[in-house]
Amino acid sequence: MAKTTVITLALGDITEEHADALVNAANSSLLGGGGVDGAIHRRGGPAILAECRALRAGHYGRGLPVGRAVATTAGRLDARWVIHTVGPRFSPEEDRSALLASCYRESLKVADELGARTVAFPAVSAGIYGWPMEDAARIAVETVRATETSVEEVRFVLFDDRAYEAFARHIR
C-alpha cells in the first residue's frame, strides 16, 4: 500500500456512498443478483447492466472468473465507475482465502488503471456467499494493507454493526 493510502470505515448502504469507484460483490455472470449486486443495479440504473452485457459479448464470454475484477460505468450512482469483482463462495472443506484476497488486489489494480483515488468496498463474499464476517474482514484489511496502489482512500462500507465492528477490530 502506498504511504498515502488510508483505510476508512462507513456504516450503511454502499449505493449511497460517493467515491471514484464503488466495488460490486458480483457473480461470474455479471448480469446481476441479490445483496450489493442487486442494490447497485437497482440504484445505478440500466447503463451498468448494458455494459456488463457488452463485456459478456466480448472479452468475458465465459463470465468473470472468481477473484478477478472489471470496471463499468457507475450509471446514476455517485461515482465514476463500478468495479465488479467475484468473490469465492465460502467452503468449509477448501481454503479459498487466496481467491478472496485476489478480489481486493485485482479491484485495486483496476482502480489504478482507471486513475481512481477513492474506492469503496463492501465485505465481499460475506453475505450470500457465506464467508464468516470475522475472517472476511481480516482478509480484506490485510490484503489492502499489503497491496501497492495509488488509491488514496479505501473505504469499507459495512451494512450492519456486526460487520462494522469486525472490520474495526482488524484496522486497530
Residues with Cβ < 8 Å from 136, sequence gap 6 or more? Answer: 100, 123, 124, 125, 126, 166
Is residue 19 involved in binding ligand AR6 (CB under 6 A)?
no
Give the largest Cα separation in the chain, rounded: 44
Is residue 143 involved in binding ligand AR6 (CB under 6 A)?
no
Residues with Cβ < 8 Å from 151, sequence gap 6 or more? Answer: 2, 5, 108, 111, 112, 116, 117, 118, 119
C-beta of 79: minimal distance to ligand AR6 in Å? 13
Is residue 166 involved in binding ligand AR6 (CB under 6 A)?
no
* Closer by beta carbon to ligand AR6, 99 or else 108: 99
Among 22, 36, 74, 141, binds ligand AR6 (CB under 6 A): 36
C-beta of 92: minimal distance to ligand AR6 in Å? 16
In terms of residues, how long is the chain?
172
Q: Within 113-132, which residues bind ligand AR6 (CB under 6 A)? A: 122-129
C-beta of 148: minimal distance to ligand AR6 in Å? 25
Could you list the active site residues? 37
Contacts 24+ apart (CB under 8 A), 30-37: 30/55, 30/56, 30/60, 30/63, 30/64, 30/70, 30/84, 31/56, 33/128, 34/128, 35/127, 35/128, 36/122, 36/127
Kindly determine how many residues on this chain lie close enough to bind ligand AR6 according to the rule CB under 6 A. 24
Contact 143, 101 (CB under 8 A): yes
C-beta of 152: minimal distance to ligand AR6 in Å? 21
Is residue 48 involved in binding ligand AR6 (CB under 6 A)?
no
Is residue 100 involved in binding ligand AR6 (CB under 6 A)?
no
* Closer by beta carbon to ligand AR6, 47 or else 150: 47
**Which residues contact ligand AR6 by CB under 6 A?**
13-15, 25-27, 33-37, 39, 87, 122-129, 157, 159, 163
